[in-house]
């Protein structure tokens, strides 16, 4: 195994363990202050939109997925693309919108329920530590 790969693996493992320990150790007012305010809806929407538009996997998926449903024999290929694209956008909006609304409600609930948030932080920290240890000892 190349030395550079080993170094990156060990540094990555150490960083995962560090992040896990930080999540478990998180206490005090800074964590509480961090979770008392949510992200404004407009900012969350624009951030999600920008992330999706700049995501090369989404563009690649769309380019690979839509053409298989286009039939040049039917004519007006551009119209077929437009209709299928509109249908895909509508479904994406429905699914992603539902996920966003549910995530917002769960986030609001977690901001009020400190014990639940703490359990999630400890669980996430434990998972990060476990992944870091596995990465460190994996050959």
Q: According to the model, what pLDDT value does residue 129 have?
A: 94
pLDDT at 37: 60
Per residue in 95-105, pLDDT (tens digit) is 988 988 888 88
Q: Please tell me which residue, 2 or 9, carries the higher pLDDT value.
A: 9
Q: Is the pLDDT of residue 22 over 60?
A: yes
What would the two tokens of residue 89 be? 């956008």
**Model confidence pLDDT, tens digit, residues 44-103:** 778 877 887 788 887 788 888 888 999 999 989 999 989 998 998 899 889 988 988 888
Band (pLDDT 50/70/90 cuts) for residue 1 is: low
* pLDDT score recorded for residue 28: 47
Question: What is the average per-residue pLDDT within 106-126?
Answer: 86
How confident is the model at residue 31, as a pLDDT? 47
Residue-by-residue DSSP string for the chain: --HHHHHHHHHHHHHHHHHHHHHHH--SHHHHHHHHS---HHHHHHHHHHHHHT-HHHHHHHHHHGGGG--GGGS-HHHHHHHHHHHHHHHHHHHHHHHHHHHHHHHHHHHH-HHHHHHHHHHHHHHHHHHHHHHHH--
What gap in Å lies between CA 27 and CA 94, rounded to an integer? 37
What local confidence, expressed as pLDDT, does residue 29 receive? 42
- The pLDDT assigned to 27 comes to 60
The mean pLDDT value of the chain amounts to 83
């Amino acid at each position: 195994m190349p030395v550079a790969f080993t170094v990156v693996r060990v540094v990555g493992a150490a960083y995962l363990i560090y992040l896990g320990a930080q999540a478990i150790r998180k206490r005090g007012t800074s964590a509480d202050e961090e979770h008392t305010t949510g992200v404004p809806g407009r900012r969350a929407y624009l951030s999600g939109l920008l992330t999706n538009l700049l995501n090369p996997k989404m563009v690649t998926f769309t380019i690979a997925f839509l053409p298989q449903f286009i039939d040049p024999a039917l004519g007006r290929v551009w119209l077929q693309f437009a209709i299928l694209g509109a249908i895909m956008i509508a479904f994406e909006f429905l699914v992603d919108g539902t996920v966003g609304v549910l995530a917002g409600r769960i986030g609001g609930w977690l901001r009020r329920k400190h014990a639940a948030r703490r359990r999630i932080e400890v669980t996430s920290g434990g998972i990060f530590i476990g992944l870091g240890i596995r990465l460190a000892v994996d050959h």
